[in-house]
Amino acid sequence: MQGSLFIVVLTVLVAYYNSFYGVFQFDDFNVIVDNQRVHSWEGFIGELPLTIRPLLKFTYTINWISGMGIFGYHLFNLSIHIINTILIFHLIRSISIKDFEEKQAVSIALLSTILFALHPIQTEAVTYISGRSSSMMTMFVLISVLSYIKGNEIVSRPLLYVVSPLSYLCAVATKEVAIFTPLVLLLYSCLYLKMQKLIKTQWVHWLIFFLIIPIMLFTKRYSEIVFSGLDKMDFFKNLDFTLRGVFYNLSKVFFVTELNIDPSPSLLYDDSTVYWFVFAIIIITTIITVKKHRWFSFSVAWFMIFLLPYFLIPRGDILNERNLYVCMPALFLGLSVIVHRVLSNLWVKRLMFACLLVALCVLTHHRNTVYYSEISLWQDTVKKSPDNTRALINLGYAYSQKGMHKEAEYWLKKATETNNHDVAFEKAKSLMN
């Protein structure tokens, strides 16, 4: 078991070694490069009472003052992904072993881990430096949930009342999407534990939850995000938009050539009836099979819990692949169980695992090359979203920064022709002048 996990981790290192050639991209400039508040401890501490995601910015500050340059950022991101890889294996094994035999549970956990660790859809949370918000949040979520599970199994008060709650708090301090993590613990308790343990083992988590909510609402930056989102789109339209975005990103699990750091919202203008039908079928199936297939109920609920903030508050970034990073363990658990039931021959499974390791490693390695320069990233984006005004502007700007003025003018002109957004249109014109 440990040998197989070691091979997976080693393959992750091979797949992501070229991520160190990546440069600062997109939001990296706003949150790191041009953000003086993460360039010194004085700046970080001075902004602390008003800032959001303080733990995330703490790590940016450490990287900036370390003197290691962009290498340090990539090393930190890859280290988090490797830690998550190990945590995913142990978490899914702990869940699977309650419904399957030991060897079957290990097989399911191993396949889930391979998919999570090496699927190229994860590159946006690993190679893209700002994607750390999702991977680091996920790390603390996994530690919290796994500590809660182990704490109940071995009756460990430190795990239940210290490690798990503190990890939850760290997850929220990294990215606010983790706020509903206690619902995962509630779900686990309902499926696998005696109900009388619920209040006894979770009261610290829920105390943190009810303390954090008002703090976030009364923090200026958080409240601006919440209320500006609610002003942009009504609740039901946001539900529809979010569901489309989720299914759009899920399609990339199978169509990896469509990975895109900045997809155009116009991709979501098709009819959503089919999506709602599939969603309803999944929910009904989850309810019907909750006792017989607990792993399925746990997977679906995990996936939905970490999408709740997007369903409740309009956020256009649901289209970004990195935001599904925390949901992927649930999806890959489901796919792994299906494979396990379809393939019964041990040697066939081993061959498939080996082929997956190689194929996903190659695909991830190739996807990383897109991050080598701003030009290559935005060329890839414009190719897949030719009507994306922001991508066209960014490509033009990237060319201008390299002194390639003819190419810059061409793409900035293309941006003005789309005229999808008045602000972007004016910015393109100003850059052309």
Would you say domain 376-432 falls under CATH 1.25.40.10?
Answer: yes
7: which 2 tokens?
């091979």
Q: What is the pLDDT at residue 270? A: 67
Residue in the structure block whose two tokens are 């256009």: 316
299: which 2 tokens?
């997977």
Q: What is the pLDDT at residue 182? A: 95
Q: Closest by alpha carbon to 430, among 400, 388, 391?
A: 400
Contacts of residue 426, defined as CB under 8 A and 6 or more positions apart, other chains included, come to none
Cβ count near 26 (within 10 Å): 21
CA distances from 49 to 136, 137, 172, 375, 402 (A): 21, 20, 16, 37, 39
Rg (CA), the chain: 22
Say whether 372 sits in a helix, a strand or coil.
helix
Write out pLDDT tens, residues 368-404: 999 999 999 999 999 998 888 889 999 999 998 888 8
393: which 2 tokens?
């502007």
Q: What is the pLDDT at residue 211? A: 92
Contacts of residue 208, defined as CB under 8 A and 6 or more positions apart, other chains included, come to 165, 168, 169, 172
How far apart CA 29 and CA 400 sit, in angstroms, is 17
Cβ count near 206 (within 10 Å): 15
pLDDT < 70 stretches in the chain: 1, 195-196, 221, 223-233, 265-270, 316, 419-433
Sequence length of the chain is: 433
Write out pLDDT tens, residues 55-72: 999 999 999 999 899 999
The type of residue at 44 is: F
Q: What is the pLDDT at residue 332? A: 92
All structural domains of the chain with their residue ranges: 2-230+321-372, 376-432
Tell me how far apart the 2 most distant CA atoms of the chain are, in Å.
70
CA distances from 207 to 165, 190, 295 (A): 10, 19, 28
DSSP per-residue codes, 172-186: HHH-GGGGGHHHHHH
130: which 2 tokens?
């700002």
Q: Are 155 and 148 in contact (CB under 8 A)?
A: no
Q: What is the pTM of this model?
A: 0.92
421: left (phi over 0), alpha (psi -120 to 50) or beta: beta
How far apart CA 431 and CA 433 sit, in angstroms, is 5
CA distances from 365 to 74, 126, 355, 392 (A): 14, 12, 15, 25
Residue in the structure block whose two tokens are 């975005």: 245
Q: What is the pLDDT at residue 273? A: 82
DSSP per-residue codes, 313-347: S--GGGGSGGGGTTTHHHHHHHHHHHHHHH---HH
Number of H helices, E strands in the chain: 23, 0
